[in-house]
Structure 1
Amino acid sequence: MADGADIANFPVGGGEMGGLIREFDWSRTSIGALVRWPQSLKSVTAFLLHSPVPIVLLWGEDGIMIYNDAYSVFAGDRHPQLLGSKVREGWPEVADFNDNVMKVGLAGGTLAYRNQELTLDRRGKPEPAWMNLDYSPVPDESGKPGGVIAIVVETTEAVLAERALVESERKLRALANATSDVIYRMSPDWSVMQPIEGRGLIPDNSAANPNWMEENLVAEDHAIVRLGIDEAIRGRQAFQMEHRVRRPDGTIGWTFSRAVPVEGPDGEIVEWFGAASDVTARRRGEEHLRLVINELNHRVKNNLAMTQAIAAQTFRNAGDLKDAQERFTARIVALAQANDLLTGERWASASLRGVLEQAMRTHCGEEGRCTIEGPDVELSPKTALALTLAMHELATNAVKYGAWSVPEGEVSIRWSLYMPEAWGERIRLEWRERGGPPVSPPERRGFGSKLIERGLAAEMGGTVTMQFAPEGLACVVDAPRNLYGKGE
């Protein structure tokens, strides 16, 4: 009777599974009714029922399953049918795995697996699961293994989280490799920069660097950058600024840098994560644009002043208003053509040949009536404008009164470089007309002559001589070459 009373109370407690074990008809299994259980089986059953860790006992050759409440959660929809079943039949999808477990365990061996992946049907469909598994033999009264006890700790969430982290890091590395930006990480107070690849913007940094500001930034920018960092730290907000950097080749570049704080579980900032873009080309472009605008303003003022002078000289004492208007329009057109030429060269310089060809294009008429010869010489923008207006006056005079006023007349424009003793290199340019009406010196010098002799000579720093020979007008310009390519 005492044994029956003990059996009626076995197992004592054990939660839901304790009750199910007491109510289960074990006589239908190979281990027999509870009254026949050996003490070793009852002891290990009592142990596992009071463990918070998922534990299952596989008893006998069939591996009859006895488990606790924690394991019932792991079993999912297969609980409570697993209780008292053979392990190979209870988990048929991993029968081969459990065959090996029973073989090793009943032979007295142990097994341990970490993050073991098994495909289990626990919720109506097969799904991968990862777990830490520890198998140990349980001796019976004879001292030989009577079963195998398994401690099962599922690690699926941890494994998937780790894989997600690895995938996230892989994508982040791919993004970092795909972008030309410098990706950087800073300590919470920005005192230390973590290793980075500088991508040509700043030197590479293979170790944590506490001297990053001194090494990578221009000294004059330290204060303003530090001010921006302190403001971002105080406000726990993004840092964002354009500032100069020292490039690996020693030159100064510009970067647009933006970093955001990364918080830990306690809400404290654990690091800053940022990206720095190389905006050197854009900043240089903006600076060049400012210079161009300033230069354009200067050119406009010069052109307006020149236009005002042309107007004043053209209409002063003009007897025939219509003729004066035509001459004024022609001079403005010549000035505009010179500006077109300079605009195509970004107002840096203009070739002497290009200036002469453009100035003669609308005047010389038939091919062969104008010869232009000479070596390549660059003119400053201001010299190009003055020479254009002077050539326009000579061409206009040739069309009205000189060589181009008759079909057989010709004009040659030739220039050469020479080196007088004790002087620097000079240029000599000659305008010569032939085949036109006889020429005699004018009684009065008009605006065109003054523009040629005075204006051009003053601009080029040389001399301009007008020779009114009977066979045709000649204009000789002699000036230092070093004034070409200079000026405003």
Structure 2
Amino acid sequence: MPTDRAALEGAAKVALEWQAGTYEWCPSEDRLAWSPELVHLYGLEAAPQSERDFTGLIHPDDRVRVEAETSAFLGADAADYSHSFRIVRPDGAVRVILDRGAIERDPAGNVRRIRGLNVDVTDMLDGGVILADTLGGTRPDDGAAQPHGRCGQPVASTEPGSAAGLSAKAAMLESLFEGAEVGLGIWDADFRFVHINPALAAINGLPVEAHLGRRPDEILPDLADYEALYEEWRRVLETGKPWRGVQISGETPAEPGRIRHWEEDFFSVRVGGRIAGLAAVVQETTRREAAEARSRASEGRYRALFDAIDEGFCIVEVCLDAPDGLIDYRVVEANPAFYACTGFPEAILGRWLREAAPDLEEHWYEIYGSVARTGAPRRFEEKSETLGRWFDVYAFPIDAPETGRVAILFDDISERKRQEERSEMLLQELNHRSKNMLGLIQSIARQTAASGAADFTTRFGDRLMALGAAQDLLVHNDWTTVPLADLVAAQLAHFSDLFGTRIEMDGPPVTVMPDATQTLGMALHELATNAAKYGALSNADGCISVLWRVEAEVGHEPRFTLNWQERGGPAIAEPAEQGFGSKVTTRMVKTATRGEVTLDYAPAGLSWRLSCPAGAVLDSSSAARATTRSGSES
């Protein structure tokens, strides 16, 4: 295949003469492949291995712009791109590169690969025979006039001895100038067009010939603020410093009524050591601007949603191979609800959690590490003892697997968990108390029937109502504790009109435990029933006092006393036999409270007294507040 080899060698020679080279870039693999000509153009011995290596070759002043432009190209739906930038060769030489490429995408719009061409256009922009001819510089020949091509460029002489004319290299650069898809223009020191390529003429919507010898404001009067533009151009001519990244927007005859956008870089042009004019590279950025506008709008919607949702949301970066061998992660983005739900300060952002929150439980690292490692999402409920909260969490991987990034959507469900625990406790308590209640009702029925009373139904019903009143108080107080004053009032409810006159209640504000509520409620009911039938409430003059207190005892638990004292009723005597009522007021109370009960059938009126450890009847906090010492309240 000598012919093919010769063709390849010829193509490589042309590429070297044109100072051009090709490349292929696969962003998903971060893999670069450069032609030998491109390696030579950059002054390297070997091609860079990654995009980061390539970025390091770009001039520091252009680097950020080029990275932003590249991201815009890749993020939009563009099929091709073109831009220019400077590079710094290993020998320190600064060159201007025109970069143009085609983007290959998959059906989903993701970039598969990019194939591109780099051309060194430094000589065209910074001087040389083309610019010398264009701007009136001298040539080694006799200076005879030369014909001009369609871009206003002198055409190379074909005479054998015409070394002073355009060289072969100049002819190739002229071809490149005409064929470039970015706009290229050159102006003299009076800002008149002396050279313009077809791409810039097409942008402006006017023929090449309509530009030559005229200023931009003469042919495109509404395009820009020319006073400000020309002021900057004068600065370029005076200082020789380029003016890069200039954003210009407006309408041109190419597309009337449509606002378009361009980015332009302006350079001084030197001929024979003096600045003779300026040149520009013009890139259409309308599609990029539209893509960026869509991206900004999308980002705005995302940010509004991100900040507005009540659920906590964050993105974490998981490190699976920390130096100590442990999994670690840090929060790289978080919404306001994240801080509200976790209680973490905003200073936690960006810090590794093993250092920033050393007490955080290990299971969080294991779960998020598993999501990052396997790529499998997780939905779970977990408690953090460190944060004192329960969370409902959905964690899922985002971005490329090698980034280790995991998105976490979560909600603080601590209150729900407390309600669930409380409901579970209440169900267990209800089951326990239901069994106790059935046993108590059976006991009441047996004892009432054993008394042989003819009015069994009435007495049994009254006792069940007393028990029900105690249950109502417990339900009203969420099965916790019941104020003793409310319990006494409930059992004497039938005599509520006598409160404050014939019935007296007095004692500190204490609350009674659930089991004691049932027992004391039954005892108070029996005492009230007997008082109505036989005692102080059976006539119009009798009175009842119900008094209680909590007293401290040195070296012992405080004691609770409850007194029922009747007076002014008919004379009474101790019954020959004890019925169920007596058993309720004595034996049952004594057993339930671990206390002592005295019942005195004095002629002046019945007296009933309970003395027991306060903790057997009252909740500890109310007992402590109500305790009196040496006869006075402490």
- TM-score range relative to shorter protein: 0.7 to 0.9
**1:279 and 2:435 matched:** no
Counterpart pick for 1:350 among 474, 477, 482: 482
Structure 1 position 133, deviation (Å)? 2.0
Structure 1 position 452, deviation (Å)? 0.7
Partners of 1:442 and 1:180 lie apart in 2 by 70
TM-score normalised per structure 1: 0.76
Partners of 2:372 and 2:231 lie apart in 1 by 60
Matching residue of 1:53: 182
**1:63 and 2:63 matched:** no
Matching residue of 2:390: 254
Partners of 1:112 and 1:420 lie apart in 2 by 94
1:35-59 deviation line (CA, Å, top 9, x unaligned): 7659994268656214343212446
Matching residue of 2:574: 441
Q: Which amino acid aligns with 2:330?
A: Q
Matching residue of 1:477: 610
* Contact 1:429 1:476 (C-alpha < 8 Å) held by counterparts: yes
**1:112 and 2:251 matched:** no
More divergent stretch after superposition (51-60 vs 372-381): 51-60
Structure 1 position 205, deviation (Å)? 3.1
1:482 to 1:36, Cα distance in 2 relative to 1, 3 A? closer
Structure 1 position 318, deviation (Å)? 3.7
Q: Which amino acid aligns with 1:263?
A: D
* Contact 1:460 1:483 (C-alpha < 8 Å) held by counterparts: yes
Partners of 2:209 and 2:470 lie apart in 1 by 98
1:291-343 deviation line (CA, Å, top 9, x unaligned): 222122222222222122222222335442xx211222221221121122122
Partners of 2:319 and 2:209 lie apart in 1 by 53
Alignment of 1:53-452 (within 5 A): 53-58=182-187, 61=190, 63-64=192-193, 66-72=195-201, 74-75=203-204, 78-80=205-207, 83-84=210-211, 86=214, 87-94=216-223, 96-97=225-226, 99-100=230-231, 109=240, 111-121=242-252, 122-127=254-259, 129-137=261-269, 145=276, 148-158=278-288, 161=291, 178=308, 179=310, 181=312, 183-187=314-318, 191-195=327-331, 199=339, 200-202=342-344, 205-209=348-352, 211=354, 215=358, 217-219=360-362, 221=363, 226=366, 230=370, 233-234=373-374, 236-247=375-386, 252-264=388-400, 271-316=405-450, 318-320=452-454, 323-363=455-495, 365-367=497-499, 368-418=501-551, 424-452=557-585
1:455 to 1:282, Cα distance in 2 relative to 1, 3 A? same
Q: Which amino acid aligns with 1:435?
A: G
Identity %, equivalent residues:
25
SS at match of 1:92: coil
Partners of 2:532 and 2:263 lie apart in 1 by 102
1:185 to 1:120, Cα distance in 2 relative to 1, 3 A? farther
1:162 to 1:245, Cα distance in 2 relative to 1, 3 A? farther
Q: Which amino acid aligns with 1:63?
A: R
1:201 to 1:285, Cα distance in 2 relative to 1, 3 A? farther
* Contact 2:371 2:395 (C-alpha < 8 Å) held by counterparts: no
5+ residue gaps in structure 2?
A: 1-135, 137-144, 156-169, 322-326, 621-634
5+ residue gaps in structure 1?
A: 1-30
TM-score normalised per structure 2: 0.60
SS at match of 1:375: coil
The alignment covers a number of residue pairs equal to 440
Partners of 2:551 and 2:609 lie apart in 1 by 14
More divergent stretch after superposition (383-392 vs 295-304): 295-304
Partners of 2:412 and 2:223 lie apart in 1 by 57
More divergent stretch after superposition (65-74 vs 406-415): 65-74
1:108 to 1:413, Cα distance in 2 relative to 1, 3 A? closer
1:63 to 1:105, Cα distance in 2 relative to 1, 3 A? farther
Partners of 1:452 and 1:159 lie apart in 2 by 90
Q: Which amino acid aligns with 2:154?
A: K
CA RMSD of aligned residues (A): 3.9
1:208-234 deviation line (CA, Å, top 9, x unaligned): 527489946434x46xx7367536753
Partners of 1:134 and 1:271 lie apart in 2 by 42
* Contact 1:359 1:392 (C-alpha < 8 Å) held by counterparts: yes
Counterpart pick for 2:154 among 24, 30, 42: 42
Q: Which amino acid aligns with 1:444?
A: E
1:256-289 deviation line (CA, Å, top 9, x unaligned): 332332234xx87662222343333332332222
Partners of 1:108 and 1:42 lie apart in 2 by 29
1:109 to 1:213, Cα distance in 2 relative to 1, 3 A? closer
Partners of 2:396 and 2:284 lie apart in 1 by 36
1:130-153 deviation line (CA, Å, top 9, x unaligned): 40322433759x9883x6432112
Partners of 1:260 and 1:414 lie apart in 2 by 65
Q: Which amino acid aligns with 2:220?
A: W
* Contact 2:504 2:544 (C-alpha < 8 Å) held by counterparts: yes
SS at match of 1:412: strand
Q: Which amino acid aligns with 2:466?
A: A
Structure 1 position 429, deviation (Å)? 2.3
Partners of 2:199 and 2:320 lie apart in 1 by 46
Matching residue of 1:7: none
Partners of 2:353 and 2:541 lie apart in 1 by 84
Partners of 1:239 and 1:269 lie apart in 2 by 18
Structure 1 position 416, deviation (Å)? 3.5
